[in-house]
Structure 1
Amino acid sequence: MADNRSFESTLHDIVYSIDTGTGLKIIRVTLYVLLLLVIVMVYTATQFRGLKTEEAMDYAQLGRNMSIQGGMVTKAVRPLTMWKVQQRTAGENPLIAGHPDMYHAPAYPALLAVGFKMFDFIGVDPFAMPEGGRGVAMDAERWVILPLNHLFAILTGWIVFSLGKRLFSREIGFMGMTIYYLSDLVWQDSISGLNLSMAIFFIAASFHALVVSMLNKRDGDPKLYWITPFIVSIFCAAIAFLTRYIALAAVPGLCLFAWLMCGRFRGGTRFVVVFLLLYTMLITPWLVRNVKVSGNPAGMVGYTALADSPRFPDNSLDREYHPDIAPSSMVTALKQKWILNYSGKHDSVIPALGGGILMAMFIVTFFYHFVRPQVNYLRWGLGISLLLMVVLAGFFSESSIHMIHAFWPFIILYGLAFFYILIDRLDLGVRIYNLGLKCLIVVLAIIPFGLTLMPPHENHPYPPYHAPIIARVGEMLNEREVMCTDMPWATAWYGNRVSILLPKDLDQFYEINDYKQYISGMYFTTITKNKPFVKQLLDGPEKSWLPVMSGRPPPDFPLKEGVALNRQDQIFLSDRDRWSGQSAATPAAE
């Protein structure tokens, strides 16, 4: 039947929709999304100047290797992993050309590999070095690594809204999402190039899916409506672990929440057993792979815990070709590292000013009983996982400590919920007073974000990283040749060359070069050259390398030709002159 409504009536309906109905919601959502995109672009433009951590470059080069070779192999080779691989291969072969990675989980490199493959599919090289000496970021960083991390950060904000609306109210969910998007630590994690944003998203998604599952089961919904999110929660938890091993700390909290929600001993145990069985089945193939290449389900994680401890400062453990690790000294080293980590990085546990306020309110909620039991049960699950992650993270790197940010979405929601309870108890009566207090908590929470955007902005990551210089050094070797350097993660990523980390001393270099892998070039940067002269270079652990860096190598040293780079900041040594046919000048790091 034809629509006989007049044009005026149709126009009136459209105007009414825009004014109060669906149209108004669409406009509001669109404006919110546009504002979010502006925030992301401004933050990235002012704070990102290229990858600046060895772990981020390690992940990037692993993603490229996976996109080309299809396996978890690395071009950043450590003497320590050479020693480990030799123990498990015929003829004590360290497998330099296809060296298996034993430090990192596979999910994030696999995702990067998919992104890199998409560039190949459209015929664009994402690894081409930017033109001009001031270029510091490849297309792969700007159009694959950053967008993927930003996407996970944005999706996590949506989970904050959805979970806040389900547990508390729509207003708390919206406020929580807004605070999350205006949190400095969220975007710092996102532009770091690490797998933090991805791991945080899957941890949050796992808790969210489990909350949906348990509430649907409690409300008597059809089995499909609670079994599906329950399975999704397990998958998300497994992906989180395969993104970053320390995400395992979320599993006890998930299991505790399911156990409490399902009646404890009246059926809750059954759900916990199913959760753990399916979770274990999903992660077992990767654990088996680690056992094959390293003899340990967690790969080299145990050695990572010892790295940068008082017993093995900086990366000295990775440089050991013949490590001597006494079990008696391991416990002491781990204790000292844990204490030193948190004495210097405690601000990562209570992030910034706004985070401190909401964290304080989150902690107070453990002494308050909410009306809704699911809110109390989830809080105890989060508390157990947070405590476990704090304990575990202290034994590892700074990025592991930053994984505590995985609980920031929940801290925001519980902190806001308790703040709203306090406002209700005050019974101010005047609506504008309540609104003013709510605005105040948002302003206090986003102060670190605002201060970060103010000048001065982030500088280029030199020293020691400057992509054009590193790429030029890589071009001096062909794809089959191997170099030795003090930053193999950078030469593997920007130079795309197999690079062995500078061994502990000259004797270990000779052993590797003479019996395991011929080394065609050696690249020293400010990582080594800027070390304390007397304490490290003249009469310390680097004393065997000082003559080599100073242009006075031993008579039997195989790399006798050298060229200074970037105003004498760096030096490249080789077995022959590889640079005379090229311009001797190199782009200076700005």
Structure 2
Amino acid sequence: MNSVLDSVLSPIIAASPVGLVVGFLVVGAAFVGIYFLVQYARVNETSVQQMVHTLEQGGWVRRVKVVLLLAAIAFMVYLWFFREYAGFKGLPHEKAIEQAEIAREISRGHGFSTKLIRPAALWQFERETGRFPIERIPDTYHAPLNPYINALVFKVMDWANNGVKSLANKAEYFDRYTFEDVMTTKQLVYTYDRIIAFTQLMFFLLAVLINYFTAKRLFDERLAVFSVWLMLLCERFWDYAMSGLPQMLMLLLFSAAAHAMVRAIEAKVAGRSPLPWLIGVGALFGLLALAHGLTIWLFAGALFFSVFYFRPRGRDAAIMLGVFVLFYGPWMIRNQIVCGNPVGLGWYSGLDQVRGSESEIMRSMEMPLTGLSPTVFRAKVQNQIILQMNNIFELLGKSLLAPVFFVGLLHLFKRPETSVFRWFILSMWVSGVFGMAVFGMPETATQVKANDLHILFVPLMVFYGLALVLVMWTRLDINIRLLRLAFLTLIFVISAFPFLNQLTIFFGARTMPVWWPPYYPGSISVLSKWTRENEIIASDMPWAVAWYADRQSLWLPMTVHDFLDLNDYNQLQGRIVGLYLTPVTGDKAFISDIMRGEYKEWSAFITRSVNTKDFPLKAVTPMAVDGESIYYSDRKRWENNEE
């Protein structure tokens, strides 16, 4: 029996303990199917006819649909997580890796701290508090909710892993279902990367469920079911879930807030008090802001709508604001205590494209704040709004129906709550567009963007877009069922085309099993063998060093002079022992970025033409892949090292 189970489960589970969930779904579905086959194999022909009649009458239709939906979801999860050389390749976005590293520190009992050292944080701490807490660095850049949830998941998975290890001590069979809690050169993908992505995927599926009930209240069950499938077949949602960014947690909270607002509008239409639901809206937006501070712009749009819709005017909006502050206020107090600024370091990212790129700002030892005024943001805001509008189809998940929402604003829906709710969506979206324009959506190597709020609106906009399209089809008075089915199929195929294209990639040729360039986790993990826990490695991707090598890492300062000052004046207690450069800088444009741009001060190091005689890190060794990364060290720590 063990060999049979092993042959069934091993291909799914071997990659990660997260695969246990998928394995249980598959095996459970198999047993359910076998049970029903056995039961109905015993009945006679008349009973079979009765069963078919029951199915036709709808007695089992809903259950069959649910089983098919769960089976489809399980298959999608398998493809995205466990398809060899084409599925999950690790966390691709630096912000997701940063939050993962913070979550690990929380799970270790170190509080909301980080091993990533931003020069800008050095400036802020020393300016506001007079000292930089090098032993335990509080993070003041990221919102707290997603790291805390991930930390809780880490603790649960660690507990489960230790339990399986105890079983493995008694029976060697279970040893294959344990995982390493540190990254090693023997692994391609870090197990905790999978755990984070799987957690975001669960948030996505819960958001789908909430949006089903919202669509059902606004329209009907059939449209709600269509919308669920459109969400599941939207590749953009899967991309964000696999990225580890908090967007799927945000989608869950935003969807819940939208549902609560629908109930509040329904209560007002029915002559009941909407206040209990509006309190829930304020609380959910408070949690949403704790997941990403940029969503405060969405809450501003929600307040604007509430002021004009609910009576007495302004009262309910004020109550919502008060509840929001109760949730978000403590975080601002915490930031004020640890760094002397209630909004922390994150708000300085708004200087992106005003005072250079965000990376330039965060790598600076002094903030370029002189001459700042609202007028200097005008060009940035204009350019960012134009950029968003030019890419609106992609930002709205490449969904054919989402942009139709804006046409639906001209249609008068029969239900008053349905008609009113679209203005709530529009109010938040307009406010969100302006907020994203102010803080910017920096270009990254991945398609997903940390500041993307458009993705949160896709389900709600799809509801209205699909409803309007169906209304227009009805007005054509085409009563041929086959044509109607063909029309709906065409909508689904076009909307799901990016998703279907990804499926062809899964079943196509092999691709790089990790996000290289620039991430090769196994190679990065070697740095933990070459350094001690109290030593610091400077790098052009310090988030990856902090996460995969579990070492404090200084983001490469803007100038070599700044680096030498930090080292010579003992600002980091003389702990800098290495410099790790990767394709993050090496793959930049040679003239515009390396020789004359953001990294010109480090061009000799990046191009491997520096003379390290007068540099404190004199030993040099190439690293994976094929020497595209390089490590400068205080001595040849890699000698006599098995790794």
Q: How would you bin the TM-score normalised by the shorter chain?
A: 0.7 to 0.9
Q: Determine if the alignment matches structure 1 residue 192 to structure 2 residue 243.
A: yes
Match of 2:295 in 1: 247
Q: Determine if the alignment matches structure 1 residue 374 to structure 2 residue 440.
A: no
Q: Classify the secondary structure of the residue corresponding to 2:344.
A: coil
Match of 2:6 in 1: none
Task: Indicate how the Cα distance of structure 1 residues 215 and 158 shifts in structure 2: closer, same or farther if over 3 A, else same.
Answer: same
Match of 2:440 in 1: 396
Q: Is the 8 A contact 1:537 1:543 kept in 2?
A: yes
Task: Indicate how the Cα distance of structure 1 residues 462 and 183 shifts in structure 2: closer, same or farther if over 3 A, else same.
Answer: same
1:247 Cα deviation (Å)? 1.6
Match of 2:361 in 1: 317
Match of 1:432 in 2: 482
Q: Is the 8 A contact 1:200 1:403 kept in 2?
A: no
Task: Indicate how the Cα distance of structure 1 residues 479 and 331 shifts in structure 2: closer, same or farther if over 3 A, else same.
Answer: farther
Task: Indicate how the Cα distance of structure 1 residues 536 and 186 shifts in structure 2: closer, same or farther if over 3 A, else same.
Answer: closer
Task: Indicate how the Cα distance of structure 1 residues 543 and 320 shifts in structure 2: closer, same or farther if over 3 A, else same.
Answer: same
Q: Classify the secondary structure of the residue corresponding to 1:359.
A: coil
1:131 Cα deviation (Å)? 5.8
Q: Partners of 2:222 and 2:185 in 1: how far apart?
A: 48
Q: Partners of 2:635 and 2:329 in 1: how far apart?
A: 48
Task: Indicate how the Cα distance of structure 1 residues 435 and 380 shifts in structure 2: closer, same or farther if over 3 A, else same.
Answer: same
Indicate the larger mover: 575-584 or 531-540.
531-540
Q: Partners of 2:468 and 2:374 in 1: how far apart?
A: 43
**What CA deviation, in whole Å up to 9, does each residue of 1:29-79 have, x standing for no partner?**
111111122123223434421112211111110111111134211111111
Q: Within 5 Å, give how 1:247-326 maps onto structure 2.
A: 247-255=295-303, 258=306, 264-265=310-311, 267=312, 269-307=314-352, 309=353, 311-313=355-357, 315-326=359-370
1:148 Cα deviation (Å)? 0.9
Task: Indicate how the Cα distance of structure 1 residues 78 and 357 shifts in structure 2: closer, same or farther if over 3 A, else same.
Answer: same
Q: Structure 2 unaligned runs (5+)?
A: 1-42, 163-177, 443-448
Q: Determine if the alignment matches structure 1 residue 84 to structure 2 residue 124.
A: yes
Equivalent of 1:139, from 185, 191, 198?
Answer: 191
Q: Classify the secondary structure of the residue corresponding to 2:617.
A: coil
Match of 2:62 in 1: 25
Equivalent of 2:137, from 90, 94, 99?
Answer: 99
1:210 Cα deviation (Å)? 2.3
1:408 Cα deviation (Å)? 0.2
Q: Is the 8 A contact 2:265 2:421 kept in 1?
A: no
**What CA deviation, in whole Å up to 9, does each residue of 1:309-361 have, x standing for no partner?**
264136111111123332248853x4444455456565653237984632342
Q: Partners of 2:546 and 2:379 in 1: how far apart?
A: 32
Match of 1:119 in 2: 157
Equivalent of 2:602, from 541, 545, 551?
Answer: 545
Q: Structure 1 unaligned runs (5+)?
A: 1-6, 585-590
**What CA deviation, in whole Å up to 9, does each residue of 1:115-135 have, x standing for no partner?**
111122231666333663xx4
1:17 Cα deviation (Å)? 5.2
Equivalent of 2:114, from 63, 70, 74?
Answer: 74
Length-normalised TM-score, structure 1: 0.88
Q: Determine if the alignment matches structure 1 residue 558 to structure 2 residue 611.
A: no
Task: Indicate how the Cα distance of structure 1 residues 174 and 290 shifts in structure 2: closer, same or farther if over 3 A, else same.
Answer: same
Q: Within 5 Å, give how 1:333-352 maps onto structure 2.
A: 334-341=377-384, 346=389, 348-351=391-394
Q: Is the 8 A contact 2:397 2:455 kept in 1?
A: no
| Letter of the 1:582 counterpart | N
Q: Is the 8 A contact 2:119 2:555 kept in 1?
A: yes
Q: Partners of 1:337 and 1:151 in 2: how far apart?
A: 36
Indicate the larger mover: 438-447 or 536-545.
536-545
Q: Partners of 1:112 and 1:206 in 2: how far apart?
A: 22
Q: Determine if the alignment matches structure 1 residue 234 to structure 2 residue 282.
A: yes
Q: Determine if the alignment matches structure 1 residue 109 to structure 2 residue 153.
A: no
| Letter of the 1:247 counterpart | T
Task: Indicate how the Cα distance of structure 1 residues 495 and 442 shifts in structure 2: closer, same or farther if over 3 A, else same.
Answer: same
| Letter of the 1:207 counterpart | A
1:216 Cα deviation (Å)? 4.3
Q: Is the 8 A contact 2:619 2:632 kept in 1?
A: yes
Task: Indicate how the Cα distance of structure 1 residues 228 and 236 shifts in structure 2: closer, same or farther if over 3 A, else same.
Answer: same
1:535 Cα deviation (Å)? 4.3
Task: Indicate how the Cα distance of structure 1 residues 330 and 538 shifts in structure 2: closer, same or farther if over 3 A, else same.
Answer: farther
Q: Partners of 1:217 and 1:13 in 2: how far apart?
A: 47
Q: Is the 8 A contact 2:541 2:555 kept in 1?
A: yes
Match of 2:556 in 1: 502
Q: Partners of 1:343 and 1:257 in 2: how far apart?
A: 25
Length-normalised TM-score, structure 2: 0.81
Identity of aligned residues (%): 26
Q: Partners of 2:354 and 2:270 in 1: how far apart?
A: 54
1:20 Cα deviation (Å)? 3.3
1:273 Cα deviation (Å)? 1.9
Match of 1:171 in 2: 222
Q: Is the 8 A contact 1:75 1:99 kept in 2?
A: yes
Indicate the larger mover: 448-457 or 560-569.
448-457
| Letter of the 1:189 counterpart | Y
**What CA deviation, in whole Å up to 9, does each residue of 1:134-174 have, x standing for no partner?**
x43211111x2121111111111112221111111111111
Q: Is the 8 A contact 1:214 1:258 kept in 2?
A: no
Give the alignment's Cα RMSD to 1 decimal.
2.9
Q: Within 5 Å, give how 1:465-504 maps onto structure 2.
A: 465-504=519-558
| Letter of the 2:232 counterpart | Y
Q: Is the 8 A contact 1:353 1:447 kept in 2?
A: no
Q: Classify the secondary structure of the residue corresponding to 2:434.
A: helix
Q: Is the 8 A contact 1:353 1:445 kept in 2?
A: no
1:453 Cα deviation (Å)? 2.3
Task: Indicate how the Cα distance of structure 1 residues 531 and 436 shifts in structure 2: closer, same or farther if over 3 A, else same.
Answer: closer
